[in-house]
Chains A and B, each alone.
Chain A
Amino acid sequence: MHYIVFGHNMENKITQLRKGILELAILGALSRGRHYGYSLVRTIAGDSTIDLTEGTIYPILSRLAKEGLVASEWVESSQGPPRKYYTLTPKGREAFSILEGEFRKLAAIVTNARNGAVPDDPGDRLNALDVSKESDNG
């Protein structure tokens, strides 16, 4: 149904939503320790079924670096080429705690909206009517 309404826009919407969350997820993973690109992907995606195009984290990382939220350094690896490790800067830590709080609030809004759409309890229905009356007057 949604796909019919939004058409090809739906894919764009999902990409948009994911990118915002991906940035938050990157900051979150880095807040728990330093990571290089591939380990970051593994941490974020885990074994989940989310279909993550791994390369998309690099533009985000370079922007976060430009904004001064993350710092990076090259570290020699015991096996293979050196790895570029990222860490959160103090500014990045602060940004993450603000964004995480905001994300929790937004997630709560989305979940509540879904649960509260059809009230089963008569008392709830009364409240719902009150709300509609208020909005009619206003």
Chain B
Amino acid sequence: MANGFSGPVAQIVDSYLARLRKGLSGIPARDQDELVKEINSHIYESYRNDTEGDEVSRILRVLDKLGEPSEVLSSRMPEAMMTVGKKRKLPFLILAGVLIAFFGVPLGIGGLSAAVGLIIGLLAVVISFYVVAVSLILTGWLSAVFMIVRLFSPGFLDRWVDVYPLVSDPTFNTIIYIVGALLIAALGFGLLWLGSRLMRGMRFVFRLLFAKIKNWRKKAPAGGERTLGSDH
């Protein structure tokens, strides 16, 4: 990275800017470049105006006055992440923003992958739930239809399917199977209904979380300034 410095000073600045960039992962690349460029310019100007002592102590003083990358970014990250998440509709970015809002630290790669893992896990549970529900409905309905056909033409598909006689009367036997099949289908529909309830519950929990975060942000310093401005 060309930053306008040379020697050990350039290395120190590079490592600072690299840490800054790490904290920015998740916001659009153009915005990242812009902020890094701006902070680099700040470091350069500040360094040029501080002429006491040797190079290394000068640059360290400059960076100390500027603040840690996390300090420089902490008040902007949650917002930036949330906006990006909204724009691209990427749930894991929103989740990362939420986590940052809660714990106040940019997550980095490890945290993001944990968040992604969590989302994938949840998705898998939801998907398998619906797969079970749909297959129950399909099984129930297909068996019911199959049995109803057998009611009118006994021996239908006998070559492939072996229907175990529960009672001696074949018609009554078929009716028992139809009822059983319909029960299975009903179970599937029950699961679907339960699923919609669960989703509603989850949405409720998430909305509650978001409301909490909003309140928290209102109380946080960043929100304080805004209320001062929005009085008019």
Contacts and interface: CB of A to CB of B under 8 A. Distances in A.
Contacts of B73: 59
Given A15-B221, A58-B35, A36 B41 contact: yes
A132 interface: no
B66 A55 contact: yes
A80 B229 contact: no
Interface in B36-51: 37-42, 44-46, 48-49
Given A81-B4, A102-B231, A39 B222 contact: no
B228 A20 contact: yes
Given A59-B76, A98-B232, A20 B41 contact: no
Contacts of A127: none
Contacts, number: 90
Interface residues of A, number: 32
Judged by DSSP, the binding face of B is helix
Interface size of B as a range: 20 to 34
A19 B221 contact: yes
A95 B230 CA distance: 10
Q: Which of A41, A79, A80, A98 has the most CB of B within 10 A?
A: A80
Contacts of B88: none
A83 B45 contact: yes
Contact of A36 (B45, B228, B231): B45
Contact of A58 (B3, B39, B48, B232): B39
B72 interface: yes
Interface string B28-68: 00000011011111101110110000000000000001110
A56 B41 contact: no
Contact of B37 (A23, A77, A81): A81
B44 A16 contact: no
A93 B40 CA distance: 28
A82 interface: yes
A43 interface: no
Interface of B: 3-4, 34-35, 37-42, 44-46, 48-49, 65-67, 71-73, 75-76, 79, 221-222, 224-225, 228-229, 231-232
Given A20-B224, A99-B228, 6 more contacts: A12-B221, A19-B224, A53-B65, A79-B48, A80-B45, A83-B45
